[in-house]
C-alpha cells in the first residue's frame, strides 16, 4: 500500500495551487461580492489544460488520471467553490459522461470544444419540483421521426445562462419511472431553448446558476447520449464523477480554513497571549486537521478506484457526504476562531462558510447520502455492472496523440 503522491501528482498539485493563488485569489472577492462570473478564468483554465485533466489527449484532454482530477478540484476550491464548480460541470458532469456513454463519433465531436473552453457546458437533471426525488421529473422527450421534441424546465443548473451545450436528462417513457429517462445534448441557439440566471444566492456567488426552459426543442438522434431509457444511469454515473470533485473540493475548503485559522490564531492576542495558545482554539484546529486527513483519504481512495475501473458509487457518496459536512463544520469553526473579523468580508472564511453550505445540498443532499449508505448496509442496494463503465486509467493509451 502506498499513500505517497507520485512525482507527477505533486507537480500537478504545485502547479494548480500556484494557479489558484495567482489567478483566482486576486479576483475572486470582487466577483463573489458582485455576483459575477469570471469569464477570464474559464479561458485560463482551458489554456492550462485543467478542464480536460483526466481525459485522453486524443479528445483534447491532458491525459492525466482520476487522482489528478481530485488534486485539481481540491486546489481550485481552496481558492473558491465557484471555480471548482466550473470544472465539475464542464468535465465531470458533461465531458466525462460523454466519454463514458457516448459513441466514438460523439466523443470526437462533443468533448474537444468543451475542454478547450470554446463551448461552455452544463448538466441538467434537477427541476423546480424534482431534486433529490429525480423520478418526479416532468420534462419530456417525444420521438418524432429521426428526432426528439423536448419540453420542460430544469432548475438550479450551474452555468445555465452561459452554456453553449446542455446535457439534459428527460423522460421518454413517463410510465417507466427512472428506467424511462434518456440523456440528450442540446445546443444554444436551437429554437425553443431559453435560459436565465437565479439571483441572490447565499454562496458560490462567482458561479452562474440558473434555469433552462425547453419548449418544443427539436433534438436530432445524433445528440442522444446512450440508449433510450439509459438516462438515469448516465446521470448517476455523471454524479459519481461530479460528487468526487465536490468531495475533493471540500478538502480544499478545509485546508484553506485551517491555513487562515492558524495564521490568525498566531497573530491575534487575548488575555496576554496568542489565541493559538488557548486550548479551546487548539481543539478546533486539531479537529480541522482530523477532518482534512479523513477527507483526503476518502477522496484519494475514490481516485484510486476510478483509476482501476472499480465501481465507486458507494465510496464516492461517502466521500461527498463526509467532506461537505466536514467543510461546513470547519468553515464554521474558522469563522468562530476569527471572531468578529470572521463575520466580515475582510477575511476569506465567511466566503468559505457560505460556499460550504451549498455543497451539502447539491449533487445529493447530506441526507440522500445517508440514505444511500444505509441502503448499502441493509443490503437493499447493490451496484450492478453498467453497459458502459467509466474507462479505467491507461496512461499509455490516454497520452497517445491520435
Partner 1 sequence: MNIIALIKQVPDTAQLSPIVDGLQLMQNGQPRIVNPWDEYTLETAIQLKESHGGKVTVLCVGKPESVEALKTGLAMGADEAILISDDTLEGGDSLATARVLVKAIEKIGACDIVVGGRASIDDNHAATAVQVAALMDVPPISYVAELTVEPDAGHLKAVRLLETGRETVTTTLPAVVTVVKEINEPRYPTFIGIRKAANAEILMWTLVDLGLEAEEVGVSGSKLIRTGLEVPQAREATLELIEGAPGDAARTLAERLIEEQVI
The nearer residue to partner 1, 9 or 243, going by C-beta atoms, is 9
Interacting positions 200-229 with partner 1 (CB under 8 A): none
The nearer residue to partner 1, 9 or 107, going by C-beta atoms, is 9
Task: List the beta strands (DSSP E) in 247-326.
Answer: 269-270, 273-274
Task: Determine which residue in the list 2, 7, 146, 199 makes contact with partner 1, applying CB under 8 A.
Answer: 7
Q: Which of 127, 259, 363, 389 is catalytic?
A: 363
Does residue 18 bind partner 1 (CB under 8 A)?
yes
**216 Cβ neighbours under 8 A, 6+ residues apart:** 149, 150, 151, 191, 192
In a 3-state reduction of DSSP, which class is residue 109?
A: helix
Site residue total, partner 1 (CB under 8 A): 18
Does residue 11 bind partner 1 (CB under 8 A)?
yes
What length does the chain have? Answer: 402
Task: Determine which residue in the list 38, 56, 63, 295 makes contact with partner 1, applying CB under 8 A.
Answer: 63
Q: Which of 92, 354, 51, 314 is nearest to 202 (CA)?
A: 354
Does residue 6 bind partner 1 (CB under 8 A)?
yes
Instruction: Please choose, out of 58-66, 207-215, 219-227, 283-291, the segment that lies near partner 1 by the rule CB under 8 A.
Output: 58-66
Cα 374 from chain centroid?
24
Interacting positions 129-148 with partner 1 (CB under 8 A): none
Contact status, residue 235 vs residue 58, Cβ threshold 8 Å: no
- Closest distance between partner 1 and the C-beta of residue 76, in Å? 13
Question: How many whole angstroms separate alpha carbon 62 and alpha carbon 212?
Answer: 31
Does residue 282 bind partner 1 (CB under 8 A)?
no
Residue 363 a catalytic site member: yes
- Closest distance between partner 1 and the C-beta of residue 143, in Å? 41
Interacting positions 34-53 with partner 1 (CB under 8 A): 48-49, 53
Q: Which residue is associated with the grid cell 507520485?
A: 6
Does residue 25 bind partner 1 (CB under 8 A)?
no
Instruction: Please choose, out of 57-65, 100-108, 225-233, 280-288, the segment that lies near partner 1 by the rule CB under 8 A.
Output: 57-65
Instruction: Please choose, out of 9-17, 165-173, 343-351, 354-362, the segment that lies near partner 1 by the rule CB under 8 A.
Output: 9-17
Bridge partners for 166 per DSSP: 122, 186
Which DSSP string do the residues of 164-194 spell out, in sequence order?
A: SEEEEEEES-GGGGGGGEEEEEEETT-TTEE
Does residue 4 bind partner 1 (CB under 8 A)?
no
**71 Cβ neighbours under 8 A, 6+ residues apart:** 5, 9, 12, 13, 16, 248
Instruction: Please choose, out of 3-11, 191-199, 326-334, 356-364, the segment that lies near partner 1 by the rule CB under 8 A.
Output: 3-11
- Burial environment of residue 149 by CB neighbours within 10 A (0 to 12, 13 to 18, 19 or more): middle
Q: Which of 31, 11, 99, 26 is nearest to 59 (CA)?
A: 99
CA atoms within 13 A on the CB side of 69: 37
Contact status, residue 54 vs residue 66, Cβ threshold 8 Å: yes
Interacting positions 227-266 with partner 1 (CB under 8 A): 266
The nearer residue to partner 1, 38 or 60, going by C-beta atoms, is 60
- Burial environment of residue 119 by CB neighbours within 10 A (0 to 12, 13 to 18, 19 or more): middle
Letters for 342-381 (x = contact with partner 1 by CB under 8 A, - = none) are: ----------------------------------------
Instruction: Please choose, out of 6-14, 84-92, 129-137, 247-255, the segment that lies near partner 1 by the rule CB under 8 A.
Output: 6-14
Does residue 281 bind partner 1 (CB under 8 A)?
no
The nearer residue to partner 1, 6 or 290, going by C-beta atoms, is 6
Question: How many whole angstroms separate alpha carbon 150 and alpha carbon 212?
Answer: 12
Instruction: Please choose, out of 62-70, 86-94, 203-211, 311-319, the segment that lies near partner 1 by the rule CB under 8 A.
Output: 62-70
Q: Which residue is associated with the grid cell 465531458?
A: 95
Does residue 286 bind partner 1 (CB under 8 A)?
no
C-alpha cell at 340: 468578529
The nearer residue to partner 1, 28 or 160, going by C-beta atoms, is 28
What is the 3-state secondary structure of 73-100? HHHHHHHCHHHHHHHHHHHHHHHHHHHH
- Closest distance between partner 1 and the C-beta of residue 227, in Å? 34
Catalytic residues: 363
Write out the residues near partner 1 by the rule CB under 8 A: 6-8, 11-12, 14-15, 18-19, 48-49, 53, 62-64, 266, 276, 399
Amino acid at each position: 500500500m502506498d499513500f505517497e503522491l507520485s512525482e507527477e501528482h505533486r507537480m500537478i498539485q504545485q502547479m494548480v495551487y500556484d494557479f489558484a493563488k495567482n489567478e483566482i485569489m486576486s479576483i475572486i472577492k470582487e466577483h463573489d461580492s458582485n455576483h459575477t462570473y469570471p469569464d477570464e478564468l474559464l479561458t485560463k483554465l482551458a489554456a492550462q489544460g485543467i478542464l480536460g485533466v483526466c481525459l485522453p489527449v486524443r479528445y483534447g484532454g491532458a491525459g492525466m488520471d482520476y487522482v489528478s482530477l481530485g488534486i485539481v478540484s481540491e486546489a481550485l476550491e481552496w481558492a473558491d467553490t465557484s471555480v471548482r464548480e466550473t470544472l465539475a460541470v464542464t468535465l465531470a458532469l458533461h465531458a466525462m459522461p460523454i466519454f463514458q456513454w457516448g459513441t466514438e463519433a460523439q466523443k470526437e465531436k462533443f468533448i474537444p470544444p468543451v475542454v478547450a473552453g470554446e463551448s461552455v457546458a452544463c448538466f441538467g437533471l434537477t427541476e423546480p419540483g424534482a431534486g433529490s426525488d429525480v423520478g418526479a421529473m416532468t420534462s419530456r422527450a417525444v420521438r418524432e421521426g429521426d428526432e426528439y421534441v423536448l419540453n420542460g424546465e430544469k432548475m438550479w443548473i450551474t452555468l445555465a445562462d452561459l452554456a453553449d451545450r446542455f446535457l439534459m436528462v428527460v423522460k421518454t417513457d413517463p410510465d417507466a419511472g427512472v428506467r424511462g429517462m434518456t440523456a440528450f445534448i442540446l445546443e444554444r441557439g436551437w429554437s425553443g431553448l431559453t435560459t436565465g440566471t437565479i439571483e441572490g444566492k447565499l454562496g458560490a456567488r462567482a458561479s452562474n446558476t440558473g434555469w433552462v426552459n425547453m419548449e418544443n426543442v427539436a433534438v436530432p438522434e445524433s445528440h442522444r447520449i446512450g440508449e433510450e431509457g439509459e438516462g438515469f444511469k448516465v446521470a448517476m454515473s455523471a454524479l459519481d464523477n461530479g460528487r468526487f470533485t465536490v468531495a475533493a473540493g471540500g478538502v480544499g475548503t478545509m485546508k484553506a480554513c485551517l491555513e487562515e485559522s492558524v495564521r490568525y490564531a498566531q497573530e491575534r492576542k487575548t488575555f496576554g497571549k496568542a489565541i493559538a495558545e488557548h486550548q479551546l482554539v487548539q481543539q478546533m484546529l486539531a479537529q480541522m486537521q482530523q477532518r482534512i486527513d479523513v477527507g483526503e483519504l476518502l477522496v484519494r481512495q475514490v481516485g484510486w478506484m476510478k483509476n482501476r475501473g472499480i465501481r465507486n458509487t458507494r465510496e464516492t457518496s461517502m466521500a461527498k457526504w463526509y467532506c461537505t459536512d466536514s467543510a461546513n463544520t470547519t468553515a464554521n469553526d474558522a469563522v468562530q476562531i476569527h471572531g468578529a473579523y470572521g463575520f466580515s468580508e475582510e477575511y476569506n472564511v465567511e466566503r468559505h462558510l457560505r460556499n460550504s453550505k451549498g455543497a451539502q445540498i447539491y449533487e445529493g443532499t447530506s441526507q440522500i447520502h445517508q440514505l444511500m449508505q444505509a441502503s448499502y448496509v441493509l443490503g437493499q442496494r447493490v451496484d450492478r455492472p453498467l453497459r458502459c463503465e467509466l474507462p479505467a486509467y491507461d496512461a499509455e493509451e490516454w497520452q497517445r496523440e491520435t
